[in-house]
């Protein structure tokens, strides 16, 4: 990092941070919007609200939130619902994968965590649809843990207060947000930063005269109130090669929890292994198959699957084997009926691989 970058990407010192916390929390106490998930911030209510609020404004979410909670007041009722029913209740809110993942995650909470939404980051991140942001929101708002949240509002606040321009490393936003979070009021503070971005530090025409932290704003100090700089997140795309196995035996398919590629969502998935730059897909597929089979079965080469997840562009080399007898299976593997695949395979990557083996329908593109 050059000298300019080192200066721009410095976390605020503790004295400045404390001043920011005091001013922001005082403003939030008097100006916060009355939202139902704030009045009763149980883990379930916070979780549902944060999923709905992804890429959707609070005013749009409110009527859907009320109806959804009336129909599914807790994790148990949501887990017991059919996907079709959940999607019907979600209709009009858009981005329907959010609803699918929410229901699948509720099922997983019931089966794996006894109906209690976990309060550990590692466990939360195993739930379908739960990433770094939702995990941070749940931990801070519902469990009062000093964990950061970074959404579009928070990025905008940070970029303006620091007067950032151009491409900014995503890691910087998370480091600064984490350094800001107070130990004693993480729930109020995180909601206050998001509230500031939503109603004061807006994307266009920010209300700088009413900003409670204007005296700390780097953009204001440089006379840029009328044209606030907007930072773009610096992301690099990683190209990944994988081998994915579809092992079939008597109408059942082998799924495993073991996952080299941790960025692929869902609890269960098809066996896979990452490929080195020059590794042969055929050789790696044979090695992987021998982890589950006493004897190497004939492996059928299926069409290669292309897929994108977050910042990963994946080329998956799919191999299929139809087994007989009782092949050896390690503790991480389990045979499931083919009919269970649509429910268990959360990732579209695995669904595409299963579709190439004619086990499920090819997933539709979602908005």
Q: Which residues are catalytically annotated? A: 50
How many residues in the chain?
367
Query: What tokens does 60 get?
Result: 């749009």
Tell me how far the alpha carbon of residue 317 is from its chain's centroid.
Answer: 25
First-residue to last-residue Cα distance in the chain: 37
What gap in Å lies between CA 196 and CA 192, rounded to an integer?
A: 6
The torsion angles phi and psi of 49, rounded to 5 degrees, stand at -65, -40
């Amino acid at each position: 990092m050059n000298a300019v970058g080192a200066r721009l990407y410095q976390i605020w010192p503790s004295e400045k941070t404390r001043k920011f916390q005091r001013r922001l929390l005082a403003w939030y106490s008097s100006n916060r919007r009355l939202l139902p998930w704030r009045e009763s911030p149980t883990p379930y209510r916070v979780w549902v609200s944060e999923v709905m609020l992804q890429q959707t404004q609070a005013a749009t979410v409110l009527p859907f939130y009320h109806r959804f909670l009336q129909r599914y007041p807790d994790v148990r009722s949501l887990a017991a619902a059919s996907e079709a029913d959940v999607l019907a209740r979600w209709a009009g809110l858009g981005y329907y994968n959010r609803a699918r993942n929410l229901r699948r995650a509720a099922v997983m909470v019931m089966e794996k965590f006894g109906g209690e939404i976990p309060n550990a980051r590692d466990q939360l991140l195993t739930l379908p649809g739960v990433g770094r942001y939702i995990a941070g929101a749940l931990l801070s708002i519902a469990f009062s843990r000093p964990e950061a949240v970074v959404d579009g509002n928070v990025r905008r606040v940070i970029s303006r207060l620091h007067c950032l321009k151009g491409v900014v490393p995503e890691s910087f936003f998370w480091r600064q947000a984490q350094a800001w979070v107070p130990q004693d009021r993480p729930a109020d503070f995180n909601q206050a930063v998001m509230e500031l971005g939503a109603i004061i530090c807006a994307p266009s025409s920010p209300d700088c005269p009413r900003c409670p932290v204007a005296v700390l704003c780097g953009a204001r100090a440089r006379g840029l109130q009328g044209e606030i700089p907007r930072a773009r997140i610096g992301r690099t795309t990683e190209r990944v090669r994988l081998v994915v196995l579809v092992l079939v035996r008597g109408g059942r398919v082998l799924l495993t929890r073991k996952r080299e590629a941790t960025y692929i969502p869902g609890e269960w998935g098809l066996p896979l292994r990452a490929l080195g730059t020059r590794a042969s897909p055929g050789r790696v597929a044979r090695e992987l198959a021998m982890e589950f089979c006493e004897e190497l079965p004939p492996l059928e080469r299926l069409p290669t699957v292309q897929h994108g997840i977050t910042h990963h562009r994946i080329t998956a080399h799919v191999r299929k084997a139809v087994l007989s007898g009782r092949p050896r299976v390690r503790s991480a593997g389990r045979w499931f009926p083919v009919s269970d695949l649509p429910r268990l395979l959360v990732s579209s990557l695995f669904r595409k691989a299963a579709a190439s083996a004619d086990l499920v329908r090819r997933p539709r593109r979602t908005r």
